[in-house]
Amino acid sequence: MSLLRVVENQDYWPEYGTFVLRDVPRPDPGQRRVGELLAEYAVDTQPSGSLARAGDGWVEGVAADNQHTVRIEAHDAPPDGDLSEWDDAVETPFASWGVVSLGLVLGGAVGEPIELGPPGLYRLLFTRRPVSAGDDPEGRPCEYRLRFWPVDAPPEPPRWLRRTGPLVDGRPAAEQGAFHGSYRRAITDIAMLALWAAESATPVSLGWLADRLSTTTATIRGIVEHPWAERVLTVDGDLDDADAPLTVTVLARRPAAVRVTPVPGIPARTAAPARRATPGRRATPGVRAIAARPMVKRQGAQEGQTPSDGPDNHPGGEADPEQKS
């Protein structure tokens, strides 16, 4: 095993509770290396899942809106697997063009990028622990370590290795509200498992999902039967048999509905919009057509020069929009 490159950022401030890492520069959406539902924002799931998730050129993780320390490592082979000093850990596939950087949900790259290697498939070991031992990592400054190494296709689906707490709080699904956070995150985990399993044609069952998520089959059944699950995926098969094959279908994000609210006192337009008068049509009443005047060279202009339109050579006399501060 050889550590190739390292980038550290001791002042990473994520936003909206979401750790973000992306390919840089961000590729064209049409340049896919894996299934289209592994593109960023392709599925209407809770960001990050229970710890972290990755897809085609992007990684998300759970992170408080606080100051964090992040170490990103590029390896040429699987690194040592000692996780005893880390509270949370997950391994996941990641498709990349080869250069990545920390980022923000609504912003661009943050800090120094790192070269992972050539374009292709990678394995990511995403680990987290609080800066102060014993703190709740959900709301405190944390240390993150991301280790990448290249893998061959088809990639092995994700696997959760360590957790600070249970995947969900343990109440029956019937007692959970539709917006219960831990169940929504767990549904995201199952959706990501199903998408990556499809890349390698891996059979899916309750027992397989429970093993990958480091939980019980009863917990998995409670998650897929949660009211929120039907917005993200459908499950067909025998849920009474832990080893029975299941068909998990992940649903693509639906376009947001656009609602038009009429303004009181302004009637809706029913007629076709008026067109400009052109030669051969009757001019609009009250508008007098004026012939265009020939351009007169401004006093002092030299031969071959075009007169300025305004103080900054920009129509209207305003400063060029590209130069505004």
Q: Give me the CATH number covering residue 142.
A: 2.60.34.30
Residue 219 has pLDDT above 80, yes or no: yes
- The answer to whether residue 301 is domain-embedded is no
- The answer to whether residue 238 is domain-embedded is yes
Alpha-carbon gap, residue 240 to 261, rounded angstroms: 48
Angle, CA 131 vertex, CA 68 and CA 160 arms, to 5° = 80
- The answer to whether residue 280 is domain-embedded is no
Residue 316 has pLDDT above 70, yes or no: no
Range of the domain at 95: 3-250
Looking at residue 250, its amino acid is V
- The answer to whether residue 198 is domain-embedded is yes
Confidence of residue 11 (pLDDT cuts 50, 70, 90): very high
- The answer to whether residue 178 is domain-embedded is yes
Residue 255 has pLDDT above 80, yes or no: no
User: What's residue 325's pLDDT?
Assistant: 41
Q: State how beta strands 52-54 and 58-62 pair.
A: antiparallel
**Structure-token pair, residue 323:** 């130069």
Alpha-carbon gap, residue 122 to 149, rounded angstroms: 5
Distances (CA, A) of 228 to 85, 160, 212, 225: 34, 22, 21, 8
- For the chain, what is the domain count? 1
User: What's residue 270's pLDDT?
Assistant: 54
CA proximity to 194, closest of 263, 147, 245: 245
The more confident residue out of 137 and 221 is 221
The DSSP line for 161-212 is EE-SS-SS----GGGS-TT-HHHHHHHHHHHHHHHHHHHHT--B-HHHHHHH
**Structure-token pair, residue 318:** 């305003």
**Structure-token pair, residue 258:** 């656009």
Cβ(104)–Cβ(110) below 8 Å: yes
Alpha-carbon gap, residue 18 to 162, rounded angstroms: 19
Chain segment 239-250, per-residue pLDDT in tens: 999 999 999 999
User: What's residue 25's pLDDT?
Assistant: 85
Question: In the predicted model, what is the mean pLDDT of the chain?
Answer: 82
Confidence of residue 140 (pLDDT cuts 50, 70, 90): confident
- The answer to whether residue 105 is domain-embedded is yes
Q: State how beta strands 18-23 and 58-62 pair.
A: antiparallel
Q: What is the mean pLDDT of residues 68-91?
A: 94
Residues 171, 159, 197, 77, Cα dihedral to 10°: 170
Burial string for 4-33 (b: 16+ CB within 10 Å, else e) reads: eeebebeebebeebbbbbbbbeebeeeeee
Q: What is the mean pLDDT of residues 167-186?
A: 73
- The answer to whether residue 313 is domain-embedded is no
- The answer to whether residue 157 is domain-embedded is yes
Residue 203 has pLDDT above 90, yes or no: yes
Residue 277 has pLDDT above 50, yes or no: no
Confidence of residue 257 (pLDDT cuts 50, 70, 90): low
Strands, E, within 208-295: which ranges? 233-236, 247-250
Q: Flag the least confident range among 37-41, 112-116, 137-141.
A: 137-141
